[in-house]
Chain A
Amino acid sequence: MVDIAVVSGAPAGILRRLFRRKLALFGFAIIFIVVGSAIFAPWLVRYGPNEQLFDGLTLQGAPMPPGGDFLMGTDLLGRDLFSRILYGARTSLIIGVIANGAALIIGTLIGLTAGFMRGWIGSVLMRFTDLMMAFPALLLAICLAAIFQPSLWIVAMVIALVNWVQTARVVYTETTSLSEREFIAAERTLGASQSRILFKHILPHLVPTLIVWGTLGISVTVLLEATLSFLGVGVQPPMPSWGNIIFENQTYFQAAPWLVFIPGTAILLLALAFNLVGDALRDVLDPTQRGQD
């Protein structure tokens, strides 16, 4: 109980420690910018993301390089890349949050149940998790995405189905070690119900872990979505996603490298931001890590 109070009672202290880290601040800044661009995209761009502009191609029919009317140039179809990048941020964030949220919930439920129930239910669940670990994740995701006609929701679902495994393992390990602690035994002796112990005493202790894994997981999700879209089995054009912008334009990338490297940089920065923030959160939230650096 004492350490719960420390964790949940002092978010201000945690935030202060977090903001003292330059890298975490950099990560927050990027996330802030990407979220801002995603929300305010309609007011920030001059052209719609799917508008094929009359002057969007050169006379020879090649895309326009960055600069001039088009901040980031245009793509093969003469659409404004800046506008597609901003609207693409929506796709990345929506999938990042939904797919990762779903993976986190599935992973937590399975890990928690397996760790708390033990017995045959626990074994079955953990053997199933082992089995999922043996699946070549990306291959499975590609397969699923290719089989079902991919849409935003299918892609999110596929990513969630592939990504819950790590969370389940971590939650399982933590839950088993927590269940053996004295305060849980004490609760049991006092006659607390299973669900009370689970939700009132074990789950709150998992919150720091879940925050860390939830943040790091968004980075994994963003990369996976980009990869699926790059292979053409992710979010389908014309809906812009950073991955499918590269997919659509890669044949032309020697002549128009910005069409690959601008969205590529965007993916890298967003994934990096969540990694940096997640890592800083781990240092700040996990007392055993404190003083390691």
Chain B
Amino acid sequence: MAGYLFRRIFQAVLILLGVSFITFVLLYVLPADPVRQIAGRAATAQTVENIRQQLGLDQPFLVQYGRYLGGLIQGDMGRSYLQKTEVASLIASRLPATLLLMAGGIACELLIGLTFGVIAAIYRGRLLDQGLMVTSFVAVSAPQFVVGLLLLYVFAVQLGWFPIGGYGTFEHLVLPSVTLGIMGSGWYSRMMRSSMIEVLRQDYIRTARAKGLTRARVLTRHALPNAILPIIAMIGIDIGIFMGGLVVVESVFGWPGIGQLAWQAIQRVDIPIIMGVTMVSATAIVLGNLLADVITPFIDPRIKMR
């Protein structure tokens, strides 16, 4: 166990190192010159050169990368080119909003997805099942920005139930969470359906029914817990898919999270921020996958760690 965990953590660190290297290379070779952006159009060649030296951008690539890594290990992600603030504190100030939105999104997709999946499995093959499965296809095919704008139009503009955008109260959280959760709810309902069907096929379910338990009790006490197990591990993997959706959802709803931060940074070629957000996202993805792999054997002893 300890050996397995150690190996997985070592792998995770290697992957993050790789991600940092590739991102650094991509941003290093990019045609847009960040120094020009900082200096402005009117700057003389001398000013541009000074700024370049100040930021250490005149150094060779490996020196720059080594310096970045050295800082990263100590939790220093450098300073934003344009905002003159520490990237780490910029991200830290935006992170709570993003985590809140992700929690809301996960809650929505699980609530909708698991409920639909269980109902579909119970009514397998009937009209309700087919209807729910078509719905799940629509959910995974719907572009998030269109879903977001549609929810905004109906529930905020027309009905006035929720605010049009912003951050702060529970009302602000509802529409962005649903938007973020809808795509995942489609996947979850399909997975939950097949997981539930698989469990309902098992002998012990028949035994439980045969010894006289009610259908409802068998479903809730015997089938459901076992059917949910394999689904739980998926939440970790979901985090990766969410990181992308965040940029879109945060921009539609004006949600002040790291997705917006990244989006603004990309438009202004503010490399330290892009780099920082990519690293934070990649860490979240790697941790999510790690968690999924580590948790699975605990919740389902049939799966062994390798």
Inter-chain CA distance A109–B87, complex, in Å, is 39
Smallest CB separation, B148 vs chain A (Å) = 10
| Known contacts A139-B247, A147-B30, A230-B143, A257 near B153 by CB under 8 Å | yes
Is the CB of B243 closer than 8 A to any CB of chain A? yes
Inter-chain CA distance A88–B60, complex, in Å, is 44
Q: Is the CB of A131 within 8 A of B247?
A: no
Q: Is the CB of B138 within 8 A of A272?
A: yes
Q: Is the CB of A135 within 8 A of B142?
A: no
Q: Which residues of B contact A102 (CB under 8 A)?
A: none
Q: Is the CB of A231 within 8 A of B138?
A: no
Interface string of A238-262 (1 = CB under 8 A from B): 0000010010001001100100110
The interface size bin for chain B is: 35 or more
Q: Is the CB of B145 within 8 A of A230?
A: yes
Which residue of chain B lies nearest to A26 when distances are taken between CB atoms in the complex? Answer: B134
Interface of B is mostly: helix
Query: Which residues of chain B in 107-156 are interfacial with respect to chain A, using CB atoms and an 8 Å cutoff?
Result: 125, 134, 137-138, 140-146, 149-150, 153
Inter-chain CA distance A155–B22, complex, in Å, is 19
| Known contacts A142-B266, A246-B146, A264-B146, A130 near B281 by CB under 8 Å | no
Q: Is the CB of B263 within 8 A of A275?
A: no
Q: Which residues of A contact B212 (CB under 8 A)?
A: none
Q: Is the CB of B26 within 8 A of A143?
A: yes
Smallest CB separation, B12 vs chain A (Å) = 9
| Known contacts A131-B18, A253-B153, A254-B157, A231 near B143 by CB under 8 Å | no
Is the CB of B191 closer than 8 A to any CB of chain A? no
30 contacts between A and B (CB under 8 A): A23-B137, A127-B15, A131-B19, A134-B289, A135-B22, A138-B243, A138-B244, A138-B247, A139-B247, A142-B262, A142-B266, A147-B30, A219-B141, A223-B141, A223-B143, A226-B143, A227-B144, A227-B145, A227-B248, A230-B143, A253-B153, A254-B157, A260-B153, A265-B146, A267-B143, A268-B141, A272-B138, A275-B137, A275-B140, A276-B137
Q: Which residues of B contact A246 (CB under 8 A)?
A: 145-146, 149
Q: Which residues of A contact B134 (CB under 8 A)?
A: 23
Is the CB of B32 closer than 8 A to any CB of chain A? yes
Chain A interface residues (CB < 8 Å from chain B): 23, 127-128, 130-131, 133-140, 142-144, 146-148, 219, 223, 226-227, 230-231, 233, 243, 246, 250, 253-254, 257, 260-261, 264-265, 267-268, 271-272, 275-276, 279, 292-293
| Known contacts A131-B22, A231-B251, A136 near B143 by CB under 8 Å | no
Is the CB of B267 closer than 8 A to any CB of chain A? yes
Q: Is the CB of B263 within 8 A of A136?
A: no
